[in-house]
């Protein structure tokens, strides 16, 4: 038998013939990852970033996910964009239930992921309280590049047939940059201790 390594690739010319071996679930995962029909559930300010993502500059059609479907029976990817209030919970749950399997959910922004800064009884603290979520995209609002990272992460999960939740991580580590910030002390007796890089405070009478 020949080389059966899964990482081996062969380019066939026009006059050559051949065949490829794969698994049915791998073939279905490959087909599903490039044929996502999105249902946008846009409720708040993150909708502006979603509109920018759908424009020609970021070209989301490269990923096969540019065709919106405003009927849940024709969609398999639910974009939850923005804040979800308690009054919107039954509507979102009904839309998710009407979608056919296999279906996927993407939380767009901090409010959809965890409720954001709305720490009150009127806001849902994350859509995973009512529907299962596949990918969380943090940010208030998230950059379109972060949303594309989340979409590619979801496509990778679909290809591997993995349903565990995932989160989009920042491209750069913010911890090293925090060392360059002004370090404040808790003592407020001397103003120079609060901001030592600014130098000692100048009395008002001096010129």
Q: What is the mean pLDDT of residues 56-82?
A: 83
**pLDDT band for position 1 (50/70/90)?**
very low
- What's the pLDDT tens digit per position in 25-60? 777 777 777 888 888 888 888 888 888 888 788 888
**Cα–chain center distance at 47:** 14
Q: What is the mean pLDDT of residues 185-200?
A: 55
Q: Cα dist. 205→113, 136, 194, 200 in Å?
A: 53, 56, 22, 15
Euclidean distance between the first and final Cα of the chain, in Å?
Answer: 90
* Complete DSSP assignment for 58-105: T-GGGGT---B-SSGGG-SEEEEES--BGGGHHHHHHHHHHSPSS-EE
Lowest mean pLDDT, pick from 47-61, 69-83, 177-191: 177-191
- Please give the model's pTM, rounded to 2 decimal places: 0.70
Residue 179: what pLDDT? 63
Residue 87 pLDDT > 50? yes
Cα–Cα nearest to 58, from 146, 118, 130: 146
Angle CA 204–206–207, to nearest 5: 110
Cα–Cα nearest to 122, from 111, 132, 109: 111
Residue 207 pLDDT > 60? no
- Which of the pair, 97 or 54, is modelled with greater confidence? 97
Rounded Cα–Cα distance for residues 58 and 148 (Å): 9
Q: What percent of the chain has pLDDT over 90?
A: 6
Residue 96: what pLDDT? 92
Q: What is the mean pLDDT of residues 134-145?
A: 87
Q: Sketch out the chain's domains with CATH numbers.
A: 24-167 (3.40.50.12280)
Rounded Cα–Cα distance for residues 71 and 92 (Å): 13
Rounded Cα–Cα distance for residues 86 and 82 (Å): 13
């Amino acid at each position: 038998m020949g080389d059966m390594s899964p990482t081996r690739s062969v380019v066939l010319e026009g006059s050559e013939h051949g065949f490829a071996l794969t698994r049915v679930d791998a073939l279905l995962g490959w087909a599903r990852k490039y044929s996502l029909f999105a249902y946008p559930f846009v409720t708040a300010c993150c909708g502006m970033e979603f509109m920018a993502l759908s424009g020609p500059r970021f070209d989301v059609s490269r990923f096969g996910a540019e065709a919106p479907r405003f009927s849940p029976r024709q969609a398999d990817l639910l974009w939850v964009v923005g804040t979800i209030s308690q009054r919107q919970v039954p509507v979102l749950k009904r839309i998710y239930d009407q979608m056919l399997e296999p279906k996927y959910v993407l939380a767009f922004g901090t409010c959809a992921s965890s409720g954001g800064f709305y720490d009150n009884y009127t806001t849902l603290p994350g859509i995973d309280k009512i529907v299962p979520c596949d990918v969380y995209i943090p940010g208030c609002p998230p950059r379109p590049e972060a949303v594309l990272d989340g979409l590619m992460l979801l496509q990778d999960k679909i290809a591997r047939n993995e349903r565990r939740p995932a989160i989009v991580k920042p491209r750069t580590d913010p911890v090293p940059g925090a060392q360059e910030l002004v370090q404040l002390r808790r003592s407020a007796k001397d103003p120079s201790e609060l901001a030592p890089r600014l130098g000692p405070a100048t009395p008002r009478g001096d010129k």
